[in-house]
Amino acid sequence: MNCFCCGQEMAKARKVKIRRCVPFPSASLGPNSAAHVAYREAMTYKWDVVCQTCYELMDNVVGAADIASKEFHLAGSSRRNRARWLTKQQYDEWRLKDADKRFLQGGPLMGWLQPIPELPAIIRDEPDAARKQALFDELLAEGRNAKPMAGK
């Protein structure tokens, strides 16, 4: 396993909620632009692992540090020496569980789409994610009862 901040190989790591700070895209871009969506994704705290050296740098009052010329922030729940230690075996088990959860939710592309029983079979059974999205958008434009999953 490698440190999220510096990339160092580790035998033991700290599991933390962390984000890498990136510059805000131009204000002229709308909230649905690809740059703005990528910014929101990058600035969302995610679970990952860091080495003890990087953790000690970030475990301060503001929970931030510059590491390898990049700014990183720790969530409050991971500060004050509260981050859990993981061994390589625990890390592998955690990643496997996380992958299972994402697969069951439909993966990163279709996880936002709730399985809707009344969804027409032509959309529900479409294997191509891009085509499924286009069909779903057409359905929404027609004003039928399809709804995006709450909270996504």
SS3 state of residue 33 = coil
Per-residue pLDDT tens over the stretch 105-151:
555 544 444 444 455 667 767 788 788 778 777 766 665 444 454 44
Is 17 in contact with 77 (CB distance < 8 Å)?
yes
Cα 1 to chain centroid distance, Å, stands at 18
Contact 54, 3 (CB under 8 A): yes
Residue 18 pLDDT: 95
The pTM of this model reads 0.62
Computed over every residue of the chain, the mean pLDDT equals 80
pLDDT number for residue 106: 53
